[in-house]
Amino acid sequence: MAPSQVDAAPDMDEETPAALPESRVLIIGTGGTICMTQGPDGLAPSVGFLERAMAPRPSFNDRSGLHEPVKLQAVRNGIPINLPSLRTPPTAHKRHIRYSVLEYDPLVDSSCISASDWSAMATTIRENYHLFDGFVILHGTDSLAYTASALSFTFANLGKPVILTGSQSPIFDLQSDAVDNLLGSLIIAGTYVIPEVGLFFHHKLHRGNRTTKISAASFDAFASPNCDPLALVNGLGIQVNWPLVLRPTSIAEFKVESPLDTTHVACLRVFPGIRPEMVDSVLRLPHLRGLILETFGMGNVPGGADGLLTSAIASAVARGVVVVNVSQCVSGFASPVYAPGTLLSRAGVIFGLDMTAEAALAKLSYLLARNDDPPQISRLFSRSLRGELTEPTLPTFTHPAPIPSPPPQPV
């Protein structure tokens, strides 16, 4: 018998694309290379990212079936608005990701990012927190690790993914890393409940406050040397390292903390031959409350027989300036193991363990904004508040006091 020419009725138990669930993600466009176009004076930020960069690409715009344009409710500066939306084709988990783009006006050059911009991003997340399942922030790469660290401390009781990403070349270029970075961020934010501030770049989702930029040109531009990635994208799909993902330890409402105080902190990188008066001049800046000191190896600074550099630091600590010691090395930690580091510890310097300089700056700015006193800041710096450090399993090494000589025995 010849095969029937009548199409078999579809299995009603089989889920059709129209019936697939949708997650909602808000993409917050702050600027950066990812949205730039070539102009007469070089690369410059351009607006209309949804229509110009995402709508023409099938991976971002599911054109299958007939569906009316959908607008998503969002909030901008306290005012409800309706944003045009697109959705992705079905993911491996049989789910569409519907998203809208909320662009800042004006767009921000990431080298000009400040604490006020971090506060604006946090406010946008807070205003839209209950309207979306996850958030993606488009950002320039120059200060991307700083912003990821800052937002991690700004958010308390975070229950949804907030993923920052960008690119080394514009999305409009023929050869660009932008599509992979954006698509990976979008799918993870709309699929997995990873309640952290993450940084997605070159197929890896890192904990944001563990990252640092390691290349100005390579597509593999960010690393998390002291913490494994939270997720990897490869030929097998998306693999989430669930044991590493932080989970809320209590039932509490999401909130945005006070803006970080970056106006009263400084960073100083020591170098061979640095003069004590240079360090002292920084420590005597008007209204300075904290200093991130980037030191050699495991936390060492140039010494010298006179000890003037350590004395200048000890004097600042006595005046109430909080000094935090982090290593210049890409991986490893700062701890008072060697004599120069021990002298700093005795002078009251806080050791930042395996924190990046970006995370240490954000954490210090966060604690200063809370008006914590130096002893409290010192205690909290050895604790992981947002997964920013590896808590020591043993007490921090300290040199033992000399053993007194036994009294002479009578003859």
**So which residues are the catalytic ones?**
33
Angle between helices 144-154 and 115-128 (to 10 degrees): 50
In DSSP terms, 60 is beta-bridged to none
Q: Where are the alpha helices (DSSP H) in 88-218?
A: 115-128, 144-154, 178-191
Contact 368, 150 (CB under 8 A): no
Quote the tokens at residue 353. Answer: 């363990």
Contact 232, 239 (CB under 8 A): yes
DSSP readout, 283-327? Answer: HTSTT--EEEEEEBTTTB----TT-HHHHHHHHHHHTT-EEEEEE
245 CA to centre of own chain: 14
* Distance from C-alpha of 233 to C-alpha of 111, rounded to nearest angstrom: 29
Contact 139, 32 (CB under 8 A): yes
Nearest to 351 by CA among 378, 372, 369, 328: 378
* Distance from C-alpha of 197 to C-alpha of 217, rounded to nearest angstrom: 24
